[in-house]
């Protein structure tokens, strides 16, 4: 009960005037952003050429239809990258708690790596990473 009284006294001691500097800073930040956006729109150059109105595709000139067939190898490599990249994320909890997990945790992480190694060997045997077809 004593702790609750202390917390309530501390909460009631702060007032809205304590947050006034933060409010002023937020107000000026939003005002600055809005002012700069309006000024850049009004003062900035407006040269609309066919090159500038064309869709940007990473600096590569667009050609052909966007629905042209694409090799499945690109998608397969992307999915495999995501799969093995996510594997690395699961190492983080072990790295943080490896002392508390001890040898049983080490055995489990070895088993985890073994499962992914079996999957990687399967992928290589299937030829999923061979580009010559």
Q: Which domains does the chain have, with CATH numbers?
A: 2-126 (1.20.58.1610)
Largest distance between two CA atoms of the chain: 76
Average pLDDT over the chain reads 80
Read off the pLDDT band of 73 (50, 70, 90): confident
Threshold 0.75, pTM exceeds = no
pLDDT of amino acid 37: 95
pLDDT for 128? 76
Gap between the Cα atoms of 100 and 94, Å rounded: 9
In this prediction, residues 97-120 reach a mean pLDDT of 87
pLDDT digits (tens, 9 = 90+) for 59-69: 666 666 667 77
Q: Does 126 have pLDDT greater than 80?
A: yes
What pLDDT shows up at residue 33?
97
- Res. 106: pLDDT tops 80: yes
Q: Which of 46-50, 62-66, 115-119 has the highest mean pLDDT?
A: 115-119
Strand positions, DSSP E, the chain: none
Report the C-alpha gap between 50 and 128 in whole angstroms. Answer: 42
């Amino acid at each position: 009960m004593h702790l609750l009284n202390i917390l309530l006294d501390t909460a009631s001691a702060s007032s809205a005037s304590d947050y006034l500097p933060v409010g002023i800073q937020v107000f000026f930040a939003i005002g600055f952003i809005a002012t700069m956006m309006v000024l850049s729109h009004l003062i900035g150059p407006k040269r609309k050429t066919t090159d500038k109105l064309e869709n940007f595709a990473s600096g590569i000139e667009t050609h052909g239809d966007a629905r042209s067939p694409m090799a499945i190898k690109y998608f397969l490599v992307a999915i495999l990258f995501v799969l093995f990249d996510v594997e690395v994320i699961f190492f983080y909890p072990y790295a943080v708690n490896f002392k508390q997990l001890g040898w049983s945790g080490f055995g489990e992480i070895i088993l985890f790596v073994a499962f992914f190694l079996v999957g990687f060997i399967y992928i290589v045997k299937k030829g999923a990473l061979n580009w010559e077809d």
